[in-house]
Structure 1
């Protein structure tokens, strides 16, 4: 039986304990919220969610040089997801590409970029995926990579050769915004995973600005992810920091519009980032010196020759297709109606030597770009059912030569190859 003195003591203690408990809960909620934001920075939902599937339940097919793999369930389901993982298990998968049972992940998972993520951000991400994500019971799907290429042990050697385990360290002589931008672009933003060319072992040829190949563009899954250096013609050389920020926030500016997987990045990631982080990314990207590109003369708009050919379309097969299918949106002058309709004159993606993205977007159109809940008014339609390979080659050749773009011709054979591979992937 409690004495009056003991009851009084307990009564005095409880009011002191409750604020401590409340503060702990608030701190926990803040950590989960921070993790939710960081998951958007990393665009985790884009890869770990299949079309019409549940968020983070995996199942998205990804094409690699060895065959197709499928992303994994990273919900906190204890049987099919990561619900039984410790924070150490989570960190090891995120930054080293090794999961709880010891098997290695394929480097399609951008863990070489995530290796740079700071410990406190890893902790916040873990809190979010354990407490802020709904569990989904959905088994992971085995890859389509045939034996013996599907053996995982060679990935241990790959990690030993190509994985740099050091977290990002601020660069001296650079301001806070530049370092923040570099940390996001190189780390959770994993921009190099798409925008840096890969070597023979599927490794990124550079992981930061000290490598000459970094962010100079790369082919991935039927698209050419554009050059993000200061290159004048095909990079960001003619863009201001404001232009870069506008693109990251809305998917379009006076120079270009988003397509391919970049649409998912805008929809799920960069538009949801705070203004300071987006501005920091723009600062960092605009600091990169020119690299890659065509090494040709600096672009200068010239509509004269193209305007003449469009007044007599029957004399040019590409011009004939352009007047019938393209001109009403992109204009006789090739300037479009930016940012609603992309310009073709001087567009870095039009001028790029590799025409994969132009062929792909002409064949298959663009996914819906949705900014602040509003779909883009004029998405690019798909022309694969309407135009044959030669017609697409002709019109793209016309566009790449027009308005002084000066890019190489497109061959019908290249269109046919991409038509086959993109249709097979559906």
Structure 2
């Protein structure tokens, strides 16, 4: 998916002071790591499947645009980055690219004309793609995608970020890992999941923190900071390993359900993750989503039990859970419906409890639990406030075709009331999130108005 290009900040450090040194650094050209014959061809459908695994569609398709024709804007503090046309159009797309030039884009971030791509393209991660998958992608885009003539706007950042030669030096620092993939050898399923996570899925681009030069701090499973969480565009990309992470709280089956459908007994997908599931993960096989979950579950050395099926046996509508020990006091207080309750609790009872219940456990597979929810308790309160103001939706997937929609409360609640409600949710049922101020709510409301062209968004 499109990521906030905080990486570009490093260009300020390596732009002017070492101008001459950078021009002397040779362009990186990575050779393929393969024993494949030159005339090797992928199996039918392999290219499209790899495209879904690599999440190409969302980044290279503008809103209401044609698939892969580019023109999707990436807003960053440094300016707007425009995604490229990757259809096989010979004038505005990649129709003239050779296999070697296509590989150079994926491995080294270098276009056919020698221009360095901005690191919105996750070539840090795509360096782990196998040669089979590189060739399958190339065959798919050249032979199965319709060419679209679409000249996208030229990315024009301000000085010094418009000087792309600086990326050459950044690449020599950030691309320290060799191309290709080597699994940990724990099991066939976990090795497959490791490949999908580290390579095509480029999960580290959101879920790993950043180094001092803003490269990914953790590309591989043996890196200490790999998938330990980050902040992207004001949203917490939660840790996928370590104490309190979903890999410790959820079973392999529950994680696989979330990947394939955007929902499970505990949570629903929002923000960037919702788009990843819509345009990528729901199209993977059950075996691959289980493999990803098995790899995540086993990263901390825990026992991995592979489910026979992705979905649980029996009815999908699971009864809501009772409050646990940490949430019992909050549940009892809400159930009392006392007029002496704090305003945040009363607002929750009036507006939220019908779906998320006094226990904060929600309706499994339908409405997410709020107790212990990473989005609720994260360091960034903006996403929770935005959802309260503007609502949210969980897209339809093949496995769970019903689209779930939560209304917004921008027209119903004042900024002070939204702050009180958000603060209550972030501190109820044992949650430990910081309080939210009315000023933070005002900022979120103004941001929503700006995004919608001056029209305030509401329910």
Q: TM-score, with normalisation over the residues of structure 2? A: 0.79
- Specify the alignment match of 1:276 in structure 2: 287
Residues 252-309 of structure 1: CA distance to partner in whole angstroms, max 9, x if unpaired?
111211000111111121111112211110111112239xxxxxxxx95422234315
Pairwise CA distance, 1:375:
4.7
Is the 2:42–2:132 contact (alpha carbons within 8 Å) kept by the matching residues of 1? no
- Does 2:362 align with 1:336? yes
- Specify the alignment match of 2:149 in structure 1: 137
Is the 1:48–1:58 contact (alpha carbons within 8 Å) kept by the matching residues of 2? yes
Q: Which residues of 2 match residues 169-184 of structure 1 at below 5 A?
A: 169-184=181-196
Distance 1:198 1:86, change over 3 A: same
Is the 2:330–2:428 contact (alpha carbons within 8 Å) kept by the matching residues of 1? yes
Pairwise CA distance, 1:242:
0.7
Q: Distance in 1 between matches of 2:273 and 2:184?
A: 31
- Specify the alignment match of 1:244 in structure 2: 255
Q: Secondary structure at the match of 1:69?
A: strand
- Does 2:383 align with 1:383? no
Unaligned runs of 5+ in 2: 1-38, 302-323, 453-459
Is the 2:235–2:380 contact (alpha carbons within 8 Å) kept by the matching residues of 1? no
Distance 1:81 1:183, change over 3 A: same
Is the 1:246–1:253 contact (alpha carbons within 8 Å) kept by the matching residues of 2? yes
Q: Residue 387 of structure 2 is aligned with which of 333, 336, 361?
A: 361
Q: Secondary structure at the match of 2:417?
A: helix
Q: Distance in 1 between matches of 2:177 and 2:218?
A: 14
Is the 2:87–2:95 contact (alpha carbons within 8 Å) kept by the matching residues of 1? yes
Is the 2:110–2:117 contact (alpha carbons within 8 Å) kept by the matching residues of 1? yes
- Specify the alignment match of 2:299 in structure 1: 288
Distance 1:397 1:144, change over 3 A: farther
Larger radius of gyration: 1
- Specify the alignment match of 1:22 in structure 2: none
Q: Secondary structure at the match of 1:416?
A: helix
Distance 1:313 1:218, change over 3 A: farther
Pairwise CA distance, 1:223:
1.9
Unaligned runs of 5+ in 1: 1-26, 291-298
Q: Secondary structure at the match of 2:113?
A: coil
Q: Residue 103 of structure 2 is aligned with which of 91, 98, 111?
A: 91
Q: 116-125 or 158-167: which moved more? A: 158-167
Q: Secondary structure at the match of 1:382?
A: coil
- Specify the alignment match of 1:51 in structure 2: 63
Distance 1:79 1:203, change over 3 A: same
Pairwise CA distance, 1:196:
1.6
- Specify the alignment match of 1:229 in structure 2: 241
Q: Which residues of 2 match residues 302-317 of structure 1 at below 5 A?
A: 302-309=327-334, 311-312=337-338, 315-317=341-343
Q: TM-score, with normalisation over the residues of structure 1? A: 0.85
Pairwise CA distance, 1:356:
3.5
Q: Distance in 1 between matches of 2:390 and 2:125?
A: 30
Is the 2:356–2:363 contact (alpha carbons within 8 Å) kept by the matching residues of 1? yes
Pairwise CA distance, 1:225:
1.6
